[in-house]
Amino acid sequence: MYDTSYHRASSVDEAVNLRSSHDEGRYLSGGMTLIATMKQRLAAPSDLIDLRHIPALKGISVEGRRVRIGAATSHAEVAASSALRAVCPAISDLASMIGDPHVRHMGTIGGSVANDDPAADYPAAVLGLGATVITDRREIAADDFFTGMFETALDEGEMITAIAFDAPDKAGYAKFRNPASRYAITGVFVAKTGSGVRVAVTGAGSNGVFRHAGMEAALSTSWVPESVASVSVDASALMSDLHATAEYRANLVRVMAKRAVASAG
Amino acid sequence: MGVEGIGARVARKEDKRFLTGKGRYTDDMVVPGMKFAYFVRSPHAHARITGIDASAAKAMPGVIDVLDGKQLQADGIGNLICGWMIHSKDGSPMKMGAWRPLAVDTVRYVGDAVAIVVADSAAEARDASEAVVVDYEELPVVTTSLAALEAGAPQIHPEAPGNLIFDWQIGDPAATDKAISEAAHVTEIEILNNRLSPNPMEPRATLGIYDSAEDHFTCYTTSQNPHVARLVMSAFYNVAPENKLRVIAPDVGGGFGSKIYIYPEEIVCLWASKKTSVPVKWTSDRTEAFLTDAHGRDHVSKVKMAFDKDHRIIGLKVDTIANLGAYMSLFSSAVPTYLYATLLSGQYAIPAIHANVRTVYTNTVPVDAYRGAGRPEATYLLERTMEVAARELGVSPAELRRKNFIRSFPYQTPVIMNYDAGDYEASLNAAMEAADWNGFPARRAEAERRGKKRGIGMSCYIEACGIAPSQAVGSLGAGVGLWESAEVRVNAVGTIEVLTGSHSHGQGHETTFAQLVADRLGVPIASVNIVHGDTDKVQMGMGTYGSRSGAVGMSAIVKALDKVEMKAKKIAAHLMEADESDIVIENGELKVAGTDKTLPWFQVALAAYTAHNLPAGMEPGLKESAFYDPSNFTFPAGCYIAEVEIDPETGKTDIIQFVAADDFGNIINPLIVEGQVHGGLAQGIGQALLEEVRYDEATGQILTASYMDYAMPRADDLPSFTLSHQNTPCPGNPLGIKGCGEAGAIGSPPALINAITDAIGHDRLTMPATPLKVWTALQDAPTRLAAE
């Protein structure tokens, strides 16, 4: 790791100000990607602005069907929240499947969404739920937020403060893990919401998380696992790597979608 | 057996310090004035070095010096060696290219060391390493053994035209060809054995300390055999004469073979310590471990197995190409020859065998012994072939094996080995019963109803352990003898130190070796200390690998204990005025048989050291040493059965059960033996399902240089293992021990692949059987009914 300066922010304003005064600075949340990348000397931020001690970024609120998860809320907290589980068990289940216990107690939803790793789980949930990404300066619809692998609509220095969504009628998530990293080779989040069915796929797309219109249409017609089993998935838009070919991922998109619908009930 | 003697399930003495973080590893060592090294390594798989400019790096904060290969060469430090001479079938010696500890003119794999930076801190050394400017002229690259042998392939070493190191054979080609031509059935198969990275929990590390006042070097290092390291560094690398070089391998966190070898870093840090006048420590990070620890396996083989009309094997022909990487590592030439082809008879009576082995250079990490070393390759080849043959012949795989088992001992194979004892059918029967083999069809049908594909497969392995009779291995090209040494030092009040040339890096020697002493002398294991790993403390020894510490290392202790016991009995007889032949040792006392006369052990020890009243002419003291040279290899064998269930939608394999029935001969500590089997099985399952080093064939970049892409087995990849032991004691050593360290890794891969191919209905599958590969294989039409 190269030398870096550590700052602990106690408020959103302080964090944003610190960030704007350090051109080569980075926000640090759980650090589950950033610290590992820095240790590999693949990232060298001059300053780290730690967001984990800002009270406004923490906690989960459920008011009626409206859910708000603070950006610095850990995966373990999302997995364990009974209020959240009561209205949207799918996102708690998803959080309980991220990484390992260490990762789940350090990693945060804001960090994961901002990083937009193409194999991360949360982008599928945020896109699948049609959630709103709330930042220090605006609100961004999930459909506009994820713009490519490790790329989002966030401006330089812009910080996620919360993720908000209306609890869906039904939702489910299923993923197939990479045998080495245990990241999603393919993960599919399905949701039946007031504004329609949404199907979001992570881990598979060559341009990051994406929605699958064919599956959404099929599930809108009939919300049963069999509906997605025969939907065609275009392999040409999917990644190929050591662990999975595009054809295999196309198969997994169908299989995981089917299992996600089954888990949603 | 006493509560702590031979056969007792004693918890490991050493675990308290390991589990409480009190182990003392090389990286824990701190000496005054110690500085830190970082190696500048080649980012290219094959390139000419046209210039090295370290001036900017030398000016960086904390930097003491930057040293390169030309300086090392100018100081007369020698090249790394391969310690086992193999001759090609035309009689020519193997063609060894130069492996310089720091590359001088050419780099041959990604990670090849080019220069060493020494600085006040590890971070400063690493920072400065990035400022060392090395000019490279890139050369064409070849990473696979098949491509390396093609005409026009990039030439890696001038000494080895066409990249061929040797073209060696064993067995009788004419008799084997004749058997194949006369066979009622010939099974032909191509076998790939995947390349593995060893991944011990503790990465390699070394601390080189030069004392200018004494002109003496101390080397702390992560070694399985510190005396061999000292010998090689003295005799071949000109680091220092043996009496001026102390090598210490303290606690070592796993080796699996990868810490047998002498690597460039030990040599360079010792040399750099003298050059810079400071102690120099280097600790590998995990990326460097992937890039530089010797890899294992990487064989490509073609097999023909010939059967008569009664399904008896009448001949076996094997053609293997082994990838040895960019340089010949210390025992790399022995692994695909005498540790591999000599085991091709397996558990079967095969009248004619011929194996041809070619070894080649490629632009990859050097390949050497990795848990099992040659024997897993032989077992996988043979047991996959047996399974395919059974399927082709339409007979039960168990019955085909049973029909061909060797049943009388000693048995001379056509490929050197002389099996001394075994009962292969006992292990087969035990495994089949434990696995409820006959109940499998019902379990398969039940799985089918749930949409899953079940398969069952077996593997009957044999290995040669207790490495090895010195004269025999010498005649086969080994540069060393493979005996072991021990010294038993009884202290004045009866506590005991055992100095052993074996080295424990996870095997539990501090417990099992103490159990042997406890068994012989009736003392508690708490009063016995095992001393190992320091060339200044321990007499010359050969170290630990090849499942040899029990069969060879403990046999040396037995010999030393025999001498101690004889002298103690003489003293006791003298003190109790009895005849020496009437003295027996029981429960920590020396007794005159048939009387009530006894002397506690400690009084006899004290008498030996006070020397006030010893038999006439006897020297004071109670300390004896011994060297033990085995008369033969030992031959652990067994039968493993895997039952798997495949999710056809994803290709994921779940291991439903794994049964291991092993014959290790006599067992000192069943708890430790079971741990060794569990660990071996995990590694074998890793090879079968998960692990593979992959290279980009165009650039020679390693694609699996982290745990993000190299899949290690985790607890949830493994079932609870079902173990049992059969016992035909080894007649060749005093304890009847065969060895257990490698069996799990040797026997398990074919059992799993036989089970998976049983489930998917055809044999077109290579290791590792990842979900991707199994799903892809399932898209192929089955060539036989899975229910066959």
pLDDT in tens, B28-75: 999 999 999 999 999 999 999 999 999 999 999 999 999 999 999 999
pLDDT in tens, B248-258: 999 999 999 99
The residues with which A163 forms a beta bridge, in sequence order, are A69, A133
Q: Does B652 touch chain A (CB under 8 A)?
A: yes
- Using DSSP's 3-state secondary structure scheme, residue B330 falls into coil
The reported pLDDT for the residue numbered B165 is 98
- Closest chain A CA to residue B779: A248
Shared domain for A122 and A240, answered yes or no, is yes
Shared domain for B686 and B581, answered yes or no, is no
Shared domain for B639 and B621, answered yes or no, is no
Q: CATH number of the domain that B271 lies in?
A: 3.90.1170.50
The residues with which B659 forms a beta bridge, in sequence order, are B641, B722
Q: CATH number of the domain that A174 lies in?
A: 3.30.465.10
Looking at B191-263, list the stretches that DSSP marks H as alpha helix, in order from N- to C-terminal side: 226-235
Asked whether B168 and B356 are in contact (CB, 8 A), the reply is: yes
Q: Tell me the mean pLDDT in the region B603-612.
A: 97
The reported pLDDT for the residue numbered A230 is 87
| Chain A contact set for B708 (CB, 8 A) | 180-181, 183
- Residue B322's alpha-carbon distances to B79, B183, B303, in angstroms, are 23, 28, 14
Shared domain for A97 and A195, answered yes or no, is yes
Q: Tell me the mean pLDDT in the region B590-604.
A: 96
Q: Tell me the mean pLDDT in the region B623-640.
A: 97
Q: Report the percent of chain B where pLDDT is more than 90.
A: 98
Domain boundary among A13, A28, A50: A50
pLDDT in tens, B280-298: 999 999 999 999 999 999 9
Q: Taking CB atoms and an 8 Å limit, are B708 and A180 in contact across chains?
A: yes
The reported pLDDT for the residue numbered B3 is 85
Shared domain for A206 and A187, answered yes or no, is yes
ipTM: 0.96
Say how many domains are in chain B.
3
Number of Cβ pairs closer than 8 Å across A and B? 44
- Closest chain A CA to residue B775: A248
Give me the residue label for tokens 């019955």. Answer: B399
Measure the CA angle with vertex B60, ends B56 and B63; round to 5°.
110
Question: Mean of the per-residue pLDDT values for chain B?
Answer: 97
One-letter identity of residue B163: N
Q: Is residue B623 part of a domain?
A: yes
Measured from the Cβ of residue B610, the count of other Cβ atoms closer than 10 Å reads: 11
Shared domain for B386 and B462, answered yes or no, is yes
| Chain A contact set for B126 (CB, 8 A) | 41
Dihedral angle over CA of B755, B760, B765, B768, nearest 10: -60
Domain boundary among B628, B647, B672: B628
Q: Is residue B788 part of a domain?
A: no
Residues 6+ apart with CB under 8 A from B619: none
Shared domain for A140 and A87, answered yes or no, is yes
Say how many domains are in chain A.
2
The reported pLDDT for the residue numbered B784 is 60
Shared domain for B460 and B496, answered yes or no, is no
pLDDT at A67 over 50: yes
The reported pLDDT for the residue numbered B236 is 92
Q: Tell me the mean pLDDT in the region A101-130.
A: 97
- Using DSSP's 3-state secondary structure scheme, residue B748 falls into helix
Q: Is residue B737 part of a domain?
A: yes
Shared domain for B86 and B227, answered yes or no, is yes
| Chain B contact set for A2 (CB, 8 A) | 127
| Nearest one of A119, A83, A72 to A98, comparing CA atoms | A119
- CA-to-CA distance for B249 and A39, rounded, in angstroms? 28
H/E segment holding residue A210: strand A210-211
Q: CATH number of the domain that B592 lies in?
A: 3.30.365.10
Shared domain for B447 and B489, answered yes or no, is no
Q: Is residue B25 part of a domain?
A: no
Q: Does B710 touch chain A (CB under 8 A)?
A: yes
Shared domain for A119 and A227, answered yes or no, is yes
- Using DSSP's 3-state secondary structure scheme, residue A219 falls into helix
- Closest chain B CA to residue A3: B123
Shared domain for B224 and B305, answered yes or no, is no
Shared domain for A67 and A107, answered yes or no, is yes
CA B114, B120, B126, B132 dihedral sign is negative
- Residue B409 pLDDT grade (very low, low, confident, very high; cuts 50, 70, 90): very high
Shared domain for A37 and A74, answered yes or no, is no
pLDDT at B538 over 80: yes
One-letter identity of residue B531: V
The reported pLDDT for the residue numbered B780 is 85
| Chain A contact set for B686 (CB, 8 A) | none
Domain boundary among B602, B628, B654: B628
pLDDT in tens, B424-464: 999 999 999 999 999 999 999 999 999 999 999 999 999 99
The reported pLDDT for the residue numbered B783 is 67
Q: Taking CB atoms and an 8 Å limit, are A244 and B710 in contact across chains?
A: no
Shared domain for A118 and A34, answered yes or no, is no
Q: Is residue B690 part of a domain?
A: yes
Q: Does B770 touch chain A (CB under 8 A)?
A: yes
Shared domain for B460 and B345, answered yes or no, is yes
pLDDT at B785 over 60: no
Distance from CA of A67 to the nearest CA of B (A): 33
Shared domain for A133 and A242, answered yes or no, is yes
Q: Report the percent of chain A where pLDDT is more than 70.
A: 100
The reported pLDDT for the residue numbered B2 is 67
Asked whether B591 and B597 are in contact (CB, 8 A), the reply is: yes
Shared domain for B611 and B672, answered yes or no, is no
Shared domain for A35 and A113, answered yes or no, is no
Shared domain for A33 and A75, answered yes or no, is no
The reported pLDDT for the residue numbered A265 is 84
Q: Taking CB atoms and an 8 Å limit, are B123 and A1 in contact across chains?
A: yes
Shared domain for B522 and B643, answered yes or no, is no
Residues of A with CB under 8 A from a CB of B: 1-2, 40-41, 176, 178-181, 183, 242-245, 248, 251-252, 255
pLDDT at B787 over 60: no
The reported pLDDT for the residue numbered A63 is 97
Q: CATH number of the domain that A23 lies in?
A: 3.30.43.10
Mutate to test the interface with A, among B654, B716, B770, B778 (most CBs of A within 10 A): B770
Domain extent at residue A38: 5-50
Q: Does B26 touch chain A (CB under 8 A)?
A: no
pLDDT in tens, B310-332: 999 999 999 999 999 999 999 99
Domain extent at residue B695: 299-467+632-779
Shared domain for B446 and B513, answered yes or no, is no
pLDDT at A261 over 80: yes
